[in-house]
A and B are shown apart, each in its own frame.
Chain A
């Protein structure tokens, strides 16, 4: 539609474009004369063009729907979810929220996640928020996220790994001492920890880090075990009989982490016993795992000196390997070696014996001797017995039809077959 500059009726220059409903018109504002009106066919401003059809969509429709930047409902909801999760984690920085939204858009457009199950798409906003928090060095753990999102750890981790791999992002695990306050707050203990106690807990956690206890382990049980020892040491006379399960009951997820907390406490007590033996004014004869917490303050005060005495040449190729394992500070998995009692160890000898194997495509008697072959094939009598048992089982099922419990057969309609032929040697 060519734009006219002068009204042909009154000669005025005041020409305006008026989007009259869905059709543009050039109108003189002085006399109201319609100079020119747009055409659906000749309208150059088309947001949607197809080779088949020359009809342009009306302007209002295009403006309202914004075809060029159409956003799907899932993406809109995901962006809102990012904001909600950020609010739950108290992410006050707008920059971080915007980064999370941008990352969500990038992750949402990944082909791998586009075809993923709904369960994975639901955890995508949480993954994105976690990545942004870690990029800004927030002391947040993966377990915090899947507790918050109420999702499975495997699902969350699978989506998380896909995002890191596809978008080439590197995220490091936070240091354990940085997450101590957040974990203690998450546990919700019935008592408050003073500054000195918090400092002692952090010191124990750092000691655990230097003595291999934290390597490859979850952080929560280690921190809870440290709090237990500090709490017990504060008033040993009253609290010496408090058991670990009783202590863990006050934690929201205490029952889940109880076994790990118990083993961490035992490892701490073993470590403290090793270190306290280096203190000259302590008589080690009367110290055991129960009252070792009484010497916690001394151990933490002289930690570096005590560790220097225990750490030496960690070469384990000496003859007295067992003594090394007991005296030196090593990862618990190295010191708690159990004797292997696997049945397969007896087969390790057979792997040393030479094996005669044929490379032919035809099978013959040399592949397996007849004496061994007969062990794996049923006799005629056995086959008849099994067939009789199957028939009687089938008749019983037909007389007493049971409801199917397995979900795998709920979609497909198959005939019920007696197929549970389980044989044990």
Chain B
């Protein structure tokens, strides 16, 4: 799934409230798209991809935020289903807002960018119908803007760590006895280790009712997996709920496709970099804004971690890419 700038499994609806991205960041999204001549024409009809909210509520939600990620790449890789036209119509309002955004070139440095407000915590409290999906909807495909100086590379999410409170005390022995795919060894670790196959994830379930879910590749997959684990525990006889789901960490990786001189990078960015080849072959770059840790390797592979939302990973990579390009040649 290379080159896809956003998730496939986003719930349909409006842009996340308070999700206001700077024009430079918005342009970054558009520049990550492949050229338009590679894009297939839009399908005639498609079903709603997600059914997280009733359609009436989707239409009533205000459109906030200035960024609407471009859908052209999604069009090439999404599996369209009938009913998509409804979502296209719902999002058609966003097009006018998107076109009003300046499509100027991306400024390599993000130092002046106030930063993306990361108010993306998934609110799990409240009633069923009043909950607002915290993730943006898949957007209508549109003509890409003039390509600016972007990396053209999109980091792929590899791991998401999330926590949730099941809201009741648990008997770990009973869970380990009645559940398959569960490990419990209190001498080694005071939690049940449970695994499911779809999504392929691992959960640590503690007797206090708290649970940690790891291994998912997207935010919604992490939430889905956590709900599955909670439902399994509920089936075993515990009055479980699904409270305070929160994504704690996101890990992404990408490849810049050229070798990087780590010795040069550590000399020029000494206050952010840590490079000890005796201990670890990669350079550890601690970016201040956004607060992301990057592992940069000589082969051009970059690992980004420490993000609470995926936009932080994208922003961090777009910040580091021009720096890495400076250390591309040997001389």
| A interface, CB within 8 angstroms of B | 141-143, 153, 157, 161, 170, 172-173, 210, 212, 214-219, 311, 314-317, 330-331, 333-334, 344, 347-348, 350-363, 367-368, 372-373, 375-378, 383, 386-387, 406, 408-409, 417, 419-425
Say yes or no: A334 contacts B299, CB within 8 Å.
Answer: yes
Closest beta carbon of chain A to B165's beta carbon, Å: 10
Say yes or no: B179 contacts A360, CB within 8 Å.
Answer: no
- Give every chain A residue within 8 A of B257 (Cβ-Cβ): 316-317
B234 beta carbon closer than 8 Å to chain A: yes
Query: With A and B bound together, what is the CA distance between A348 and B223 in angstroms?
Result: 17
Looking at B62-70, B108-116, B180-188, B308-316, the stretch in contact with chain A turns out to be B180-188
The residue on A at minimum CB distance from B219 is A357
Query: With A and B bound together, what is the CA distance between A360 and B124 in angstroms?
Result: 6
The residue on A at minimum CB distance from B215 is A344
Say yes or no: B180 contacts A378, CB within 8 Å.
Answer: yes
B267 beta carbon closer than 8 Å to chain A: yes
Query: With A and B bound together, what is the CA distance between A367 and B49 in angstroms?
Result: 17
Q: For chain A, what secondary structure do more than half of its interface residues adopt (helix, strand, loop), or is it mixed?
A: loop
- Give every chain A residue within 8 A of B1 (Cβ-Cβ): 348, 351-352
Say yes or no: B227 contacts A357, CB within 8 Å.
Answer: yes
- Give every chain A residue within 8 A of B267 (Cβ-Cβ): 172
- Give every chain B residue within 8 A of A383 (Cβ-Cβ): 177-178
Say yes or no: B278 contacts A143, CB within 8 Å.
Answer: yes
B27 beta carbon closer than 8 Å to chain A: no
B77, B183, B263: the one contacting A423 at CB < 8 Å is: B183
Query: With A and B bound together, what is the CA distance between A357 and B245 in angstroms?
Result: 13
Q: How large is the interface on B (under 10, 10 to 19, 20 to 34, 35 or more residues)?
A: 35 or more
Per-residue CB contact flags for chain B residues 55-98 toward chain A (1 = under 8 Å, else 0) read 00000000000000000000001110100000000000000000
Across chains A and B, the number of contacting residue pairs, with CB separation under 8 Å, is 207
A311, A351, A419: the one contacting B187 at CB < 8 Å is: A419
- Give every chain B residue within 8 A of A357 (Cβ-Cβ): 9, 11, 50, 52, 220, 223-224, 227
- Give every chain B residue within 8 A of A331 (Cβ-Cβ): 259, 298-299
B277 beta carbon closer than 8 Å to chain A: yes
14 A-B contacts (beta carbon < 8 Å): A212-B330, A215-B277, A216-B277, A314-B328, A331-B299, A334-B299, A350-B198, A351-B218, A354-B50, A361-B125, A367-B231, A377-B235, A378-B177, A409-B187
Say yes or no: A355 contacts B9, CB within 8 Å.
Answer: yes
- Give every chain A residue within 8 A of B176 (Cβ-Cβ): 421, 423
Say yes or no: A368 contacts B231, CB within 8 Å.
Answer: yes
Task: List which B231-247 residues lie within 8 A (CB) of chain A.
Answer: 231-232, 234-236, 240-243
